[in-house]
Amino acid sequence: MQVVSRQPNEAAPARIQPLAVLPVFLDLTGKRAVVAGGSDGAAWKAELLAAAGARVEVYALTADLSEEMRRIVGRESAIILLERTWRPADLSGAAVALADAGDDREAAAFEAASRAAGAACNVIDKRAFCHFQFGSIVNRSPVVVGVSTAGAAPILGQAIRRRIETLLPPALAKWAALARDLRDRVAETLAPGARRRAFWEKLVDRAFGPAPTVVSEAELREAVMLGSAGEPRGHVTFVGAGPGDGELLTLKAVRALQAADVILFDDLVSDEVLELARREAQRILVGKRAGRPSCKQDEINEMMVSLAKAGRRVVRLKSGDPMIFGRAGEEIEALVREEIGYDVVPGITAGLAMASALGVSLTHRDSAKSVRFVTGHSRRGGLPEDMDWRAIADPSATTIFYMGGRTAGEIASRLIAHGMPGSTPVVVAADIGRAGQQIRTGCLSVLMDVPSEPAGSKPVLIGIGNVFGPHAKKCVVAHQGTSRSAA
């Protein structure tokens, strides 16, 4: 056996790195808390203490009460107002004492009285007189998450709290309450070891699953108890990845990515969005792009079904919105045939992202009465043969062509042939919502001269309609003269 020795002055390696503060959770149920002061800050802290189960006594003169303090004193039965200034004797028997002190002298007196009474003290915005600090809170009670920066950067603490909020579904509170209520029953029916651990792991999986919302406590209990036996059943969540900017994802989309076992993602999904997924999740590219090797639709369907039947939580991640030109309908049909559960999380479709990037209302009442999303290619690669071009040429509508790079010239020719003026404003965009975003403006007659999109390039989005007029004025002027170059 090898013996490792240290020199007398050599320090042992620390098991825990230094902490700025020690996170501690106080049980204040039925305990007394004292609040000195009637400001907005004191009102917020009083409400927080009452929410934690404390009986709160507020000491303040009526003339010093803020509107917020008046509101909570009148509403919260656990908050009692004593219309006078505090005295040291008032702190006797209190578990927590809080003050909004006017100066350091008053703060020091309050801290000394708190210490003498054995109460934990907090003086608002005067850290030197505090025994503890209030952090930012994520409330999924009985799950409570506290975030502290030890007073160094409160705004940073709030930003961290917002990030955590996105990962914890609101229904987590019910799952945690269920776990608390079932603990004794599980201990009685399942012996310590693999079976009991498997039960709790299954409950956690359901709590963080793709559809954690519950209907009733009875349904929840039955679902979990029955789910502790038998083979696991998978689930598929269709998630809209938006145009590329990860910050445009919904909170529900981020939670689904964090709960996934497997992610089947399209070629257009950005790395930024994939970075928000659970690290352990398997990522499989199933993109379909013209002009390059890609998965066939029936292969994707079979993969989804196979993974779900194996009990995996599958996220089908699609660029934009999964229900707009994403062939989600065919994939849902495959799941329904196999009786596999699914849900859909919408995303921001590229047409709306383009409008936001331009600052254009697609339904500006002075320019458009409707919006159309139209496919720019058929299964065979060209324009669909059964399109109603006369209806699409309606000048009172805004039309967005998806995947229209290869057919841009033909789109313009057909619209002009069906009566749409060649001066109609046009926007051509690629990589919307990404660092390499490109937006060009022009008019319909110039679009006729756009060459076909080269194989392997990014899909092109084409917006046509008078709402784009302010962005294509130069082109319209040029069209009326001798030149026909895009702005």
DSSP 334-394: HHHHTT-EEEEE----HHHHHHHHHT--TT-TTT-SEEEEEES--TTSS--TT--HHHHT-
Output the six-digit token pair for 487.
């702005």
Q: Which of 31, 202, 252, 288 is catalytic?
A: 288
- How many CB atoms neighbour CB 486 within 10 A? 18
Q: Compute how many other C-beta atoms are within 10 angstroms of the C-beta atom of residue 98.
A: 29
The string over 127-157, giving b where at least 16 C-beta atoms fall within 10 Å of a residue's C-beta and e elsewhere, is eebbeebbbbbbebeeeebebbbeeeeeeeb
Kindly state the helix (H) or strand (E) to which residue 33 belongs, with its residue range: strand 32-36
**Three-class SS state of 271:** helix
Phi/psi-derived region of residue 351, left when phi > 0, alpha when psi is between -120 and 50, beta in every other case:
alpha
The tokens for 486 are 């895009």
Concerning whether 266 is annotated as a catalytic residue, the answer is: yes
Non-local (6+) Cβ contacts of 406 within 8 A are 290, 376, 377, 381, 452, 453
C-beta separation of 73 from 35 below 8 A: no
Beta strands across the sheet bearing 370-375: 370-375, 397-402, 460-464, 425-430, 438-443
Pairing of strands 438-443, 370-375: unpaired
- Cα separation, 258 vs 451, in Å, equals 42
Cα separation, 348 vs 241, whole angstroms: 8
Let me know: does 274 contact 354? Beta carbons within 8 Å.
no
Say how far residue 86 (Cα) sits from the centre of its chain.
44
SS3 313: strand
The H or E element spanning position 120 is strand 120-123
Identify whether 181 is a catalytic site residue. no
Tokens of 434: 């990404």
DSSP class of residue 217 equals: H
Check: CB of residue 358 under 8 Å from CB of residue 262: no
Confidence (pTM): 0.67
Per-residue pLDDT of the chain (487 residues; tens, 9 = 90+): 444 444 555 555 556 788 888 888 999 999 999 999 999 999 999 999 999 999 999 999 999 999 999 999 978 889 999 999 999 999 999 999 999 998 999 999 999 999 999 999 999 999 999 999 998 999 999 999 999 988 888 899 999 998 888 888 888 888 888 888 888 888 888 788 777 777 787 788 778 766 555 545 565 555 555 545 445 568 899 999 999 888 899 988 988 898 888 999 998 899 999 999 988 899 999 976 555 556 788 999 999 999 999 988 899 999 999 999 888 999 999 999 999 999 999 999 999 999 998 999 999 988 899 999 999 877 777 788 888 999 999 999 999 999 888 888 999 999 999 999 999 999 999 888 787 888 888 889 888 765 555 444 577 899 999 999 877 654 433 333 333 333 3
| CB 324, CB 373: distance < 8 Å | yes
In this structure, are residues 241 and 283 in contact, taking their beta carbons and an 8 Å threshold?
no
- Here the tokens at position 37 are 């002061």
**Euclidean distance between CA atoms 313 and 334, whole angstroms:** 16
The DSSP bridge partners found for residue 345 are: 239
Alpha-carbon distance of 191 to 187, in angstroms, equals 7
- Alpha-carbon distance 15 to 19, whole Å? 12
Question: 90, 245, 261, 266: which is the annotated catalytic residue?
Answer: 266
